[in-house]
Chains A and B, each alone.
Chain A
Amino acid sequence: KQEVTQIPAALSVPEGENLVLNCSFTDSAIYNLQWFRQDPGKGLTSLLLIQSSQREQTSGRLNASLDKSSGRSTLYIAASQPGDSATYLCAPEGGEKLTFGTGTRLTIIP
């Protein structure tokens, strides 16, 4: 059974800093991995999708990497802004479904 761990559980950084969020998963037999953000009381917003054959995916200030063999993915956020404050979730897809970790709650301090 796939298990997903996200470290740290919470992170507070001053505005403007670059930061890295970590995601590890136990079953490397995945098709892809998706990163989402969730604002309080809201649904999930898709940020990036990395196919299993890819190593990296970029969108604006966000860069996600995937090392399938070691069961790890990272989300890099450059030049953080207060609007980046949210919970970030990673979800590898395998066996027709996504499996989620508990997320990293990110707070950007103005």
Chain B
Amino acid sequence: DGGITQSPKYLFRKEGQNVTLSCEQNLNHDAMYWYRQDPGQGLRLIYYSQIVNDFQKGDIAEGYSVSREKKESFPLTVTSAQKNPTAFYLCASSIARAEAFFGQGTRLTVV
């Protein structure tokens, strides 16, 4: 089955801890994206990557980091510098200027 796999589905973070969200795709897409969704707000772009070993900051990159070492993988690390990390995180991929596909999301909660 082709698609985008996000893991874990639920994640709990203690104060001051870094956590990493996984995103893997087998669609052979060049572009990958991370979005954050909060209740009552639209999706906001955190980071995106158009090609391996290159990525750009989105609108709300502070407190987050990413890597793109393989075409299939685009992990997102939520660092301790992110003061309000509780949210629903969505990963997407696409071929440039074509249909984008999303994973099922990871719900991160600070405990």
Contacts and interface: CB of A to CB of B under 8 A. Distances in A.
The main secondary structure of chain A at its interface with chain B is strand
Contacts of B107: 41
Contacts of B92: 44, 98
Contacts of A63: none
A42 B100 contact: no
Given A98-B33, A102-B41, 20 more contacts: A32-B98, A34-B99, A36-B102, A41-B107, A43-B6, A44-B92, A45-B102, A49-B98, A89-B42, A91-B100, A93-B100, A96-B48, A96-B56, A97-B45, A97-B48, A98-B92, A99-B45, A100-B35, A100-B42, A100-B43
Interface residues of A, number: 23
Interface in A58-109: 89, 91, 93, 96-103
6 contacts: A41-B107, A43-B6, A89-B43, A91-B43, A93-B100, A97-B58
Interface residues of B, number: 28
The main secondary structure of chain B at its interface with chain A is strand
A55 B96 CA distance: 20
B97 A32 contact: yes
Contacts of B99: 34, 46, 49
B90 interface: yes
A36 to B, nearest CB: 8
A31 B97 contact: yes
Interface string A17-32: 0000000000000011
